[in-house]
Chains A and B, each alone.
Chain A
Amino acid sequence: MVLGFDKARKPRLLVIPPLFEEANKFRHQVTEIMRRLDEAGVDCFCPDLPGCNESLAPFAAQTLAGWREAATRASAHFSATHVLALRAGCWLAPESLPGWLYAPAKPATVLRTMLRARALAAREAGREENANDLLAQARTDGIELAGWSLGAALVAELEREEFAPSAKHAVIDQADVGGQPLWLRAENAYDAKQADALVAILARGMTQA
């Protein structure tokens, strides 16, 4: 499945959503952003990554490398001219496309937060789980964290990957967009003003190109 606005216009923007918990948190905001892009005359496409949303592939079999290939294939398929990647999606942005990385997440931090959530949930249920023990197990067997089945290969990638933005991509910080970071919200929310601000930055960049 793909969420797309295709009217054979240029520019054409590939949108790579956040991963894991933040994929759900941002779903509404991504739609708000894409609707505004469409209104600004930009074609945009947000395909389901393998294992995510409507994809039938098992999530536990996915890797960052595999998602990166999928993002590159999607970029060719939709003849994208630019990319917008959000949070953990920034790790997957094809270097062949110019574009923007919105508030890139750090792989090790994302893994650590998910391990911590599982340990907290276990404690609440009266079980004692330790993030270090969980991680040791995850490295060989994979692990279920916050409802996501992470394969051992993905765990290894998250642990060792040092994400650094490519020179092709401009980083958009939360301060550039204003408001509260939606990925921190305990309850899913969207913010029209933030969508306006983000799209203004993108539209300016694409129409100048």
Chain B
Amino acid sequence: MTAETAHAAPTGPSRSDIDQTLRAILRDVLGLDEAQVAGFDSDTGLFGHLPELDSMAVAGLLTEMEDRLDIVIEDEDVDGEMLESYGGLLAFAEAKVVEG
């Protein structure tokens, strides 16, 4: 074995890491179990579709995304589309992580 490692992540979290982190946050916010959030697909509706996801819960969700993904989310980044579905939120998170 050499010192090189296949596990290094020189460019930050991978797409699947981001996906897993986002699902874990939604699990915590919505009080779901692993199987339920694993069933989310890109069309799964979020803000506006789930009555419990009010503005305070979404604000907490965004703050948690900042913390766990090490990104900064500006007010103007937040629009209805990114919050409307799991696919929208994931695409937004991936773009933010790349942006650094």
Contact = CB atoms under 8 A, between A and B. Distances in A.
A21 to B, nearest CB: 6
Interface in A175-200: 180-181, 183-187, 189
Q: Is the interface of A mostly helix, strand, loop or mixed?
A: helix
B20 to A, nearest CB: 15
A79 to B, nearest CB: 37
A146 interface: yes
Interface residues of B, number: 24
Given A124-B55, A181-B28, A113 B75 contact: no
A120 B58 contact: yes
Contacts, number: 61
Contacts of B28: 180-181, 184-185
Contacts of B56: 21, 117, 146
**Interface size for chain A: under 10, 10 to 19, 20 to 34, or 35 or more residues?**
20 to 34
Given A124-B55, A187-B52, A116 B62 contact: yes
Interface of A: 21, 109, 112-114, 116-121, 123-124, 130-132, 146, 180-181, 183-187, 189
